[in-house]
């Protein structure tokens, strides 16, 4: 648990440092860029569930084909928990044909999600014992591969469209009082979010 918290803290610290230093770096080197994305997706493993997404991804362009960076985002979930998560990640993008008018690319983000939702419960167990408690749903591991095409507006600016698959692992913690209450928690179990979405973006 402590190691996982340390990894999240280090990743978040690096992202914040990169974002604050980004304007100064960008002014010095045109290999540095920024990618903005907005998306909407359906959660494939849950009924009537969806998610809105915004991502901000600074990057370093190694060559015309390949770029890497660190970024962060916001995911707002409908009809699922946690209701809101904040993924922080490392990412890379590979352009297959940089000389084409419409440039196909592959992108992947890997990191951890922050954010949690608490839900209170209460009832009477099978032994007529009153109980109350809280279930905490927390965002955890995050991975998001996507494929799409981009169109250059100018040499350093482009628009893109992509299809994505997002996997957000959800961790569940239960606190029930009294502890000896017999409670069936199956109905409160939360599956990992598996999102298929469409994204549009601007890169500069």
**DSSP states along 44-91:** TTSTT-EEEEEEEEEEEE-SSSEEEEEEEEEEEEESSSSSEEEEEEEE
CATH of the domain at 145: 2.40.160.20
Is 179 part of any domain? Answer: no
Give me the chain's average pLDDT, please.
86
- Cα 130 to Cα 180: distance, rounded to the nearest angstrom: 11
* DSSP conformational letter for 101: S
For residue 18, pLDDT beyond 60? no
Which of the two residues, 187 and 128, has the higher pLDDT score?
128
For the entire predicted model, the pTM comes to 0.79
Domain that residue 80 falls in: 2-115+140-167+198-203
Is 98 part of any domain? Answer: yes
For residue 108, pLDDT beyond 60? yes
Please count the residues of the chain.
204
For residue 119, pLDDT beyond 90? no
- Residue 123, pLDDT score: 87
Identify whether the C-beta of residue 197 lies closer than 8 Å to the C-beta of residue 163. Answer: yes
pLDDT in tens, 79-94: 888 999 999 999 999 9
Q: What's the number of domains the chain is made of?
A: 1
């Amino acid at each position: 648990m402590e190691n996982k918290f340390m990894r999240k803290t280090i990743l978040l610290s690096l992202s914040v440092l990169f974002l604050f230093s980004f304007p100064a770096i960008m002014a010095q080197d045109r290999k540095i860029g920024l990618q903005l994305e907005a998306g909407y997706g359906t959660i494939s493993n849950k009924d009537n569930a969806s998610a809105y997404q915004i991502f901000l991804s600074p990057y370093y362009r190694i060559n015309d084909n390949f770029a890497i960076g660190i970024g962060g985002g916001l995911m707002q979930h409908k009809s699922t928990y946690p209701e809101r998560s904040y993924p922080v990640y490392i990412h890379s993008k590979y352009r297959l044909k940089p000389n084409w008018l419409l440039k196909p690319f592959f992108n992947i983000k890997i990191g951890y999600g922050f954010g949690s939702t608490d839900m209170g419960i209460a009832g009477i167990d099978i032994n007529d014992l009153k109980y109350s408690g809280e279930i905490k749903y927390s965002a955890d591991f995050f991975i998001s591969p996507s494929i799409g095409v981009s169109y250059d507006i100018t040499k350093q600016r482009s628009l893109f469209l992509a299809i994505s698959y997002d996997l957000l692992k959800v961790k569940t913690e239960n606190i029930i009082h009294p502890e000896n209450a017999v409670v069936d928690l199956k109905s409160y179990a939360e599956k990992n979010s598996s999102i298929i979405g469409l994204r549009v973006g601007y890169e500069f």
